[in-house]
Structure 1
């Protein structure tokens, strides 16, 4: 979990920082079952966040949903990366997407293949991939949404079921 300014680091680690009014909180978690792992990320806000983060949430969600819809067995990694980045490029925000768009999971939390603009790798059917776009604003905070998806030739299966359609804004007392 990383909050506030620490959420502007793509893979910030937990610290003793107290959550403050207006912070976004990036929750990156998973589970292990019979040796296999999962990986999910959700972003919430505590009090009303900076408008850049509020607006960015829906842009990240658009990018993430595009990736989940598009990934197919036989698709090249760089093609998927391009689809995921398209909303960020359209809105002039690609410079704020500072980590990979996803990776495979299995016995380890980060496995090849990775979703990358430089990779010619073709996704294989029955691979489990994460789709995890994010936007990060130095000195302000960040937003990331991540789900696990079972790759098929058609009708992929998103394995993560946690709600994400709206930025959850918790009250701050």
Structure 2
């Protein structure tokens, strides 16, 4: 269904198989498709499209029941991490500095051990390109760079929450959200 809808909207192909994980399975950052019935709790959907040779990559987390206070607090941490990362990004700064800033943010909020992967990655001809927004990436941000921010928090036995947005560093050196989700609606 996802592939059909993306192709109907103009995607030439998918740059990767969609990741759809619910309930406890959503605690695995790269869960594989299963034939299980979708469980209550968080539902992570990681999808992308490839149009005219260029890839996109986004992740959304939905809740299949009313969202508990605990999950709302976790979602707020993810939103704050994205905004903090955007405030730290500037041309000439090493990518790992931003990763460390977000890692420290999660540490202060006592969820660092639940932050299991890089903060994001470059996107272009391939869906995963340099720079990888990780603890060891020395590459520097520069004007024209396109990448994702995808902080995620994963809680074994409970589930996970992740949001992934695409970002472009404009000619003024400012990171600009290419795409984001607001109240369940996609926008540019």
TM-score (norm 1): 0.87
Match 1:33 to one of 46, 51, 56: 51
Match of 2:137 among 119, 139, 149: 119
Matching residue of 2:60: 42
Q: Please state if 1:63 is matched with 2:76.
A: no
Q: In the alignment, does 2:155 pair up with 1:149?
A: no
Report the counterpart of residue 37 of structure 2 in structure 1: 18
Partners of 1:164 and 1:100 in 2: CA distance: 26
C-alpha distance in 2, partners of 1:94/1:70? 19
Answer whether contact 1:42 1:164 (CA < 8 A) is retained.
no
The count of residues paired between Structure 1 and Structure 2 equals 164
What are the ranges of 5 or more consecutive residues in structure 1 without an aligned counterpart? Answer: 166-173
2: CA distance, partners of 1:57 / 1:119: 26
SS of alignment partner, residue 137 of structure 2: coil
TM-score scaled by length of structure 2:
0.81
Aligned to 1:91: 109
Deviates more, 1:109-118 or 1:136-145: 109-118
Higher relative contact order (CA 8 A, sep 6+): 1
The CA deviation at 1:49 is 4.5
CA distance in structure 2 between the aligned counterparts of 1:102 and 1:25, rounded to whole angstroms:
20
Once residues 20 and 117 of structure 1 are traced to their aligned partners in structure 2, the CA distance between those partners, rounded to angstroms, is: 33
Partner of 2:11: none
Note the C-alpha offset of 1:133. Answer: 0.4
4+ runs deviating over 6 angstroms: none
* Displacement of 1:78: 1.3
Task: Give structure 2 stretches of 5+ with no counterpart.
Answer: 1-19
Superposed CA deviations along residues 89-128 of structure 1, whole A, max 9, x for unmatched, are 1111100000111100001111111011122211222110
Measured on the aligned residues, the alpha-carbon RMSD in Å equals 1.7
